[in-house]
Amino acid sequence: MAQTRRKLGIYTSNLNTVRRALNQEPLLAATKFLASLPTIWQQGHLIAMHAGVDWRWPLAQQTRDTLLWIRDDYYFDSGGQPHRNLFDRVLVTGHTPVQSFENPQMGYVKLQADAEDTPRYVIDGGSRSGLFDGGICALTLTTQGKVARMKRVINRKIYDGQQLVTPEMVSGS
């Protein structure tokens, strides 16, 4: 977060100073734009949000804090297995870099409790993770929630999202 603040020309972590800087030029237009965006987006069989949902509550009762910050309780059940998708709609989230999951192989993680469970996709490519494969992930889904295309960008190079990327590929060796 400190790196992001510095790139914006904010060289303090004092919240009042940061708030003032974000709410005056030259950052005011970007702040207003971001504030105008929905915390959840739905279309047909698809739902997208930043972090995830609290499975104890219906979609309409999710809090902004949950949609932006939840992690483990969204991903896994109490037994440590992928939580069943209780909304029966494809969910797409970011927030947690895919490299945080056990044995990530590609630019995304597909979570399902079993083969019949409606999938959830985590697409945070870890662009700020500092890892060799940290980058940006783009997922294109059909209106029914099937993967149509997956791409990832690492160090300005485009890879197929299904492709295993090695340190040698990224370094150009």
Same domain, 12 and 89: no
* CA–CA gap between residue 87 and residue 45 (Å, rounded): 10
CA distances from 171 to 157, 166, 167 (A): 11, 9, 6
Residues 75 and 12 in one domain: no
Q: Is the pLDDT of residue 102 over 90?
A: no
Domain check: are 101 and 16 in the same one? no
Lowest mean pLDDT among 18-32, 69-83, 157-171: 157-171
Domain count, the chain: 2
Q: How far apart are CA 170 and CA 167, in angstroms?
A: 5
Helices (H), the chain: 2-7, 15-22, 28-36, 64-69, 72-75, 167-171
Torsion of CA 42, 45, 51, 57, to 10 degrees: 90
Lowest mean pLDDT among 16-25, 34-43, 162-171: 162-171
Percentage with pLDDT > 70 across the chain: 98
| CA neighbours closer than 13 Å in the CB half-sphere of residue 106 | 17
Same domain, 20 and 44: no
Domain range enclosing 165: 39-171
Note whether 102 and 133 are same-domain residues.
yes
C-alpha distances out from residue 10 to 3, 33, 34, 98, 132, Å = 9, 19, 18, 29, 28
Q: Report the amino acid identity of residue 127.
A: S
Model pTM score: 0.85
Q: Which residues pair with 137 in a beta bridge?
A: 152
One domain, residues 127 and 49: yes
Residue of 66, 62, 77, 45 whose CA lies nearest to 146: 45
Q: What pLDDT sits at residue 5?
A: 84
Residues 9 and 71 in one domain: no
If asked whether residues 87 and 164 sit together in one domain, one would say yes
- Give, as one character, the DSSP assignment of residue 61: G
44 and 33 co-located in one domain: no
Co-location of 45 and 101 in the same domain = yes
If asked whether residues 78 and 22 sit together in one domain, one would say: no
Return the minimum-mean-pLDDT range out of 30-34, 80-84, 117-121, 139-143: 139-143
Q: Do residues 63 and 107 both lie within one domain?
A: yes
